Amino acid sequence: MKIIDDKNYYKMSELVEETQLSNHTISFYHKKGLLPNTVNTSKNMKYYPEITITVLNMIKYFKDNLSFSIDYIKELFDYYNIDFDDRAELILQSIQMISSEIKNPILKKDLDKELLNEAINLDLLDDKEIYFKTEIQVLKVYEELRLYEISSHLIEEYVSTSKKLALIERELSSKVLEKTGFLPEVLVLDILNSFKPYIFNRHTIEEFKKEI
């Protein structure tokens, strides 16, 4: 590790050791524009800023756990205008990337206005001009629930419970940060992508079993 302008920088060999990714893979990601800018020394040695490790771990997680292609990851990075200067913001952006697939965009004006406004008022969706695949799926599920005359109170309770769960998730992360002084980005993504869905669905199954 080398300190440049009071910031930590890593050589390629150190990145390889930290992330278990090959020299070739890291260079490829850099050429694709997925990594922050490097610094070159007078010895023509290239150094990567410390946040590069977080970015590489994110890319590795997206590929290995979510089967995202490199081209799609690049599309995500461009859409969310990835912040390579703020690690906390970068982790938050990675959560957004997992939560919403930016595919098959549909303009707000092309959606059912009444249905969309109801979904927004229930806090199922954000109010914006373009909606993507995951958001459209949420809207379709809500439309289906309306057909069965599901009380809006039940949906409001579902959203309220989700917000409470989000607070607990944040507290879990804060406790790790408090204990170690460092928040592992992979742990945050695992809580969101594996831990929460499994536990939530496990107990949902138990509730359905009771009815059966």
Q: Of 148, 93, 101, 150, which is closest to residue 122 (Cα–Cα)?
A: 150
Please state whether the predicted TM-score (pTM) of the whole model is above 0.75: yes
CATH of segment(s) 1-99: 1.10.1660.10
Every domain of the chain and the residues it spans: 1-99, 101-150, 159-212
Question: Rounded to whole angstroms, how far apart are CA atoms 135 and 141?
Answer: 10
For the chain, 212 residues long, give each residue's pLDDT as a single digit of tens.
778 777 888 999 999 999 999 999 999 999 999 999 988 876 778 899 999 999 999 999 999 999 999 999 999 999 999 989 999 899 999 999 998 889 899 999 999 999 999 999 999 999 999 999 999 999 999 999 999 988 889 999 999 999 999 999 999 999 998 998 888 999 999 999 999 999 999 999 999 998 77
- Is there a contact between 125 and 138 (Cβ–Cβ < 8 Å)? yes
Integer angstrom CA distances of residue 190 from 62, 66, 118, 169, 172:
11, 11, 32, 11, 12
